[in-house]
Each structure stands twice: as structure tokens, then as C-alpha cells.
């Protein structure tokens, strides 16, 4: 067995108190995101998306946050991918922002729903052409016979759309995760971390509670 018991570190970069928190968790998240962006943190917009299949099996993968407002957290993907198939049978998902370098984490629980066609098209058109073509080329989550088959498909599409605008695939678009719970975690000394959870109440009010680490 690989022995990892002695790998540990202490957390001393800061603390978090109730008085510091903004009453609106979306505004609090925006503040933390801006602070993360101002550091040399690698991929601060990367988040782990967890979904559950019909049989209860949970899966995770990293996606990128591409938009945020009072309605929720937006990411884009292939609508025929594993994550999308699981969302279609269980729209309850969770997001995790692992900002370990700055000793912070944010966890989000909510419901995923498709964004509008206009939102998907606007984002797709903003992507680099190679990223647009890759969306067409990749049958995401499907079994591939070889890497060469994938690259050949990309080359075929590069030729097909050489002088044309690349359209939005009908199988590609965005999801918005409407949060019902958002937790902010700040690492603390002696494993006494600071955790605060915002829970959405009837009438769309947010309740804030401190959790034990």
C-alpha cells in the first residue's frame, strides 16, 4: 500500500468571519473569483462538476465557468456527453472550485438547466475557430477506435469550413446551474477551517450558517 499518512500541511493564509461575508452569495463568489484571478492561480475558472446517473453512480469532470449572474453558474458542453445524459435524468448537480493554492474552496449545489439557444450561439461564435471545429469533431464520451480517427475528422472539417462561418452544432450548448446552496471554505490553522454555507429559503432569501470544519 502507498503510505501517504505523513503528507500534510497547515493552513495559515487567512480566516473568514460572518462579518466579512456579503449577504448575497453570488456577490460573495464574485469577490472571491476576482481575488483568485488577481493571483497566479492556475485555471481559477476551472470547476469540478459532479453528476449522478439513473443507477445512482456519481461521476465527476472538470469544466470551465463561462458566465455568472444572479441566475447561476454557466458552462458549455456537448449535449450528448455523459454529463449531459446524466443531467437529463437527474438535474441536481454540484460544483467545486478547488482553489487550494490560496487555501479556499467553494462548493455549489443546485439544478442544471439548458441556457437559451441565443446564449449558446453567442458563446460558440466567440470561441476560436479551432475550438468551434473541435466541438463538431468530437463525439464526446463515445468510444473511439483511434486518435487518428479524431484528428482526421478535424482535418475534414477544417477543409469543409475553410471559407465558411462555422455554425453552432445542434448537439452543443450551455447549462446554467441555479444554486440552492453555496459553501465558502477558508483554510485555518490546526485544521480549524472556516466554513459558511448559504442556503436558499422560501421566498428566495439566503440563510447563512457557520459549519464545523
Contact 135, 123 (CB under 8 A): no
- pLDDT tens sequence across 173-190: 999 999 999 999 999 988
- Crossing angle (nearest 10°) for helices 129-137 and 147-160: 120
Q: Is there a catalytic annotation at residue 191?
A: yes
- Check: CB of residue 104 under 8 Å from CB of residue 187: yes
Strands 72-78 and 67-69, by their bridges, are: antiparallel
Rg (CA), the chain: 20
Specify the pTM: 0.92
What are the CA-CA distances from residue 23 to residues 19, 28, 161, 189 (Å)? Answer: 10, 8, 49, 26
Is the model's pLDDT at 141 over the cut of 90?
Answer: no
pLDDT per position as a tens digit, 7-49: 777 767 789 999 999 999 999 999 999 999 999 899 999 999 9
Name the catalytic one among 54, 129, 142, 191: 191
pLDDT at position 125 over 90: yes
Q: Which pLDDT belongs to residue 139?
A: 87
Model pLDDT, residue 185 = 98
Cell of 182: 453555496
pLDDT attached to residue 171 = 97
The per-residue pLDDT for range 82-111, each reduced to its tens digit, is 999 999 999 999 999 999 999 999 999 999
- Pairing label, strands 58-64, 172-186: unpaired
Q: C-alpha cell of 66? A: 463561462
Domains and CATH numbers, the chain: 18-127+170-211 (2.30.110.10)
Distance CA 105, CA 55 (A): 29
CA diameter of the chain: 60
Q: φ, ψ for residue 45 (rounded to 5)?
A: -85, 0
46-87, pLDDT tens digit by residue?
999 999 999 999 999 999 999 999 999 999 999 999 999 999
Amino acid at each position: 500500500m502507498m503510505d501517504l499518512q505523513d503528507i500534510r500541511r497547515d493552513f495559515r493564509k487567512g480566516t473568514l468571519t460572518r462579518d466579512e461575508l456579503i449577504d448575497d452569495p453570488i456577490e460573495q463568489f464574485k469577490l472571491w473569483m476576482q481575488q483568485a484571478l488577481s493571483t497566479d492561480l492556475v485555471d481559477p475558472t476551472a470547476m469540478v462538476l459532479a453528476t449522478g446517473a439513473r443507477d445512482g453512480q456519481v461521476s465527476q469532470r472538470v469544466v470551465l465557468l463561462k458566465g455568472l449572474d444572479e441566475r447561476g453558474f454557466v458552462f458549455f458542453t456537448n449535449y450528448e456527453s455523459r454529463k449531459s445524459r446524466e443531467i437529463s435524468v437527474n438535474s441536481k448537480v454540484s460544483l467545486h472550485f478547488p482553489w487550494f493554492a490560496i487555501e479556499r474552496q467553494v462548493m455549489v449545489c443546485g439544478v442544471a438547466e439548458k441556457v437559451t439557444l441565443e446564449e449558446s450561439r453567442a458563446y460558440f461564435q466567440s470561441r476560436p475557430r479551432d475550438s468551434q471545429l473541435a466541438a463538431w469533431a468530437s463525439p464526446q464520451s463515445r468510444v473511439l477506435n483511434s486518435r487518428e480517427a479524431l484528428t482526421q475528422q478535424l482535418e475534414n472539417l477544417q477543409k469543409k469550413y475553410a471559407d465558411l462561418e462555422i455554425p453552432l452544432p445542434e448537439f452543443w450548448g450551455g447549462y446554467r446551474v441555479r444554486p440552492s446552496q453555496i459553501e465558502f471554505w477558508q483554510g485555518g490553522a490546526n485544521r480549524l477551517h472556516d466554513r459558511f454555507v448559504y442556503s436558499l429559503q422560501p421566498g428566495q432569501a439566503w440563510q447563512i450558517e457557520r459549519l464545523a470544519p
